[in-house]
Every structure is written in C-alpha cells, then in structure tokens.
Amino acid sequence: MAATSEPLRDLVRRHREPAVVQTVRSTAAAVVSYVIALRLSAEPVPLTAPLTALLVVQVTLYSTLTTGIRRVNSVVAGVLIAIGFSALVGLSWWSLGLVILASLVIGRFVKVGEFVPEVAISAMLVLGVTQVTETAWDRVLETLIGAVVGLLFNVLFVPPVWVSDASAAINDLSGRMRGLLAHIAEELGEHTPVARAAARLHEARRLDHDIVQVDAALRQAEESLRLNPRVKEPELSRVVLRTGLDTLEICAVILRVSCRTLTDLAKTQPTGIIFSPAATRGCRTCSVICPMPSGPSPH
C-alpha cells in the first residue's frame, strides 16, 4: 500500500512544476478543441483542430500568440494554393510536385517560420480529396478552432513562469564551477600528473559547453516573463537572470584558460610541484575569497 501511494504523493508534490502544468494544459486544450470541432466541422474526424491546439499551446503566452498566428497563416496559404491548383489541373505526379514546390516557396514569403512544411501538407491534403472547396474551408475552420482554444487556454490558465528552472540551471552550473575550482586549489600543493591536469581541462571545457543549455533555459524563462500577468517586475527578473549567466560565461572562460595553463605547466614539471608554497597559499586564498557566483533567486 505504501509503495502504491508513494507515486501519487510524488505527483501531488510535483503538480505545480512547469513541465507537469504544460503537459496537462496541452492535453486538455487538444481534447476541448476536438470536441468543439466535432460540432462545427463537417469532417467526421477533425484531427486538425487538436493537432493545432497541441502545437499552439506553448510553454509561454508570447510564444503561443506568435505560434498561433504562424500556424493559421500556413494552413490558409496551403488551402489557397490547393484551391488554385484544383481549378487548373487535376491531381497527378507532376501537379503534386508543383504543389509541393509552390507551397514550400510561398511558405518562405508568408513568414510562417517552422510551419513551412505545414503549407505543403495542407495543400496536399486538400488537393487529394474530391470536394476541394468544402474540405479546404473545413480544414481552415479546424485550424482556427485549435488556435483559438490554444490561445484561450493560455489566457485563462496562465502558463507557468520558468524562472525557477533557469535559476536552478544557473545554480547547478555555478556549483560545478566552484567544485572544480576547489579541487584545483586542493591539488596545487602536491604533484600534478599530466593526466589529472588534462582531466580537469576536459571538465572545464564541458562546463563551457553546458552554458549553451543554461542559456536555452534562460531564454525560455525570459520569454515566459513576457505578457505574463503573474510577474510584477518582469524586467528586473530578466536582468538578474541574464547578469548571472553573463558572469558565469566569464568565469567559464577564465576557468578553462587556467586549466589549460596548469596542463601546460604539468607537462614541464614531470616531478615535483608546479608552484612554490607561497604561490600555492596565494592561489588557495584567492579561491576562497573569490567564490563562483551563484544563480539568482527565482523570487
């Protein structure tokens, strides 16, 4: 009984996490849009509506607005292309190729972003049916239903703020940097083999590469602050987060260069210690009084 209730308690504890909230919101929006499309669309299985809602309901309100507009534009463009081709030629291998080519080219000009393939998909689906006009506008209607439902879900159920996740990523990265710096300081007073110094250099390079992932989390947090009524001072939160990451980027460069220098010095000192005792004490003192910056508070 205890083993069964533990996952339930864990789910209750995590119900406010952004990933859990986003999953529930996306699922609910897709189901609601499908139910509405069943009543308004002539299609027996209007799957375009839940698909659109699933794509439109993004992790932030700002991205939902922009994604919804691009999604509707892509479908409308594809439908218009299909109607134009159906009035001139039938469906054959060469007309299909022309439809795909025209859709992909036009999709670049109407600025639908990542939904350029959707222009061609909409055109092909509409062109492949007998009643082109009716099916075309049913697809547009389903897309509008999905987009509107997705937008309403983000307005009525405000998306989560991803500041805590970005702050946790910054804190984790800064903690790993400080740990590496502490290990280097502890080893300065003893012989440093080349293999150990090279391993520290590899770790420093890995930390430098991980900044890209932290930056992605920070960008998501910054976007979640835009147009979000939950946040009272979005600009302050954005500046605090960005300042923390900018500082870590400088620290990562300094740490990588320091490890590179220690590796080169270790190659010139196959035996004995690299620095004198006085220099070693100075480096250790510096590592203590100049700790790595921690990430900003999510609040």
Which pTM was predicted?
0.56
pLDDT 10s per residue in the chain (299 long)? 455 555 555 545 555 566 777 788 888 888 999 999 998 888 788 888 888 888 777 766 777 777 778 878 888 888 888 877 777 776 778 888 888 898 889 888 887 878 888 888 888 877 765 455 666 778 788 888 888 888 888 777 766 677 778 888 888 988 888 888 888 777 777 777 888 888 888 988 888 888 888 888 888 787 777 766 666 666 667 778 888 888 888 888 888 888 888 888 888 877 767 666 666 666 666 555 455 544 444 44
Which of 43, 51, 46 shows the shortest CA–CA distance to 68? 51
Structure tokens that stand for 253 in this block? 């460069």
What are residue 100's phi and psi, to 5 degrees? -65, -45
Rounded Cα–Cα distance for residues 185 and 192 (Å) = 11
Amino acid 44: pLDDT: 83
Amino acid 219: pLDDT: 83
The CA–CA distances, whole Å, from 16 to 13, 97, 160, 216, 241 equal: 7, 48, 8, 21, 21
Residue 29 · residue 128 · CB < 8 Å:
no
Which of 77, 63, 135 shows the shortest CA–CA distance to 105? 77
Structure tokens that stand for 163 in this block? 């500041």
SS (H, E, C) the chain: CHHHHHHHHHHHHCCCCHHHHHHHHHHHHHHHHHHHHHHHCCCCCCCHHHHHHHHHCCCCHHHHHHHHHHHHHHHHHHHHHHHHHHHHCCCCHHHHHHHHHHHHHHHHHCCCHHHHHHHHHHHHHHHCCCCHHHHHHHHHHHHHHHHHHHHHHHHHCCCCCCHHHHHHHHHHHHHHHHHHHHHHHHHCCCCCCHHHHHHHHHHHHHHHHHHHHHHHHHHHHHHHHCCCCCCCCHHHHHHHHHHHHHHHHHHHHHHHHHHHHHHHHHHHCCCCCCCCHHHHHHHHHHHHHCCCCCCCCCC
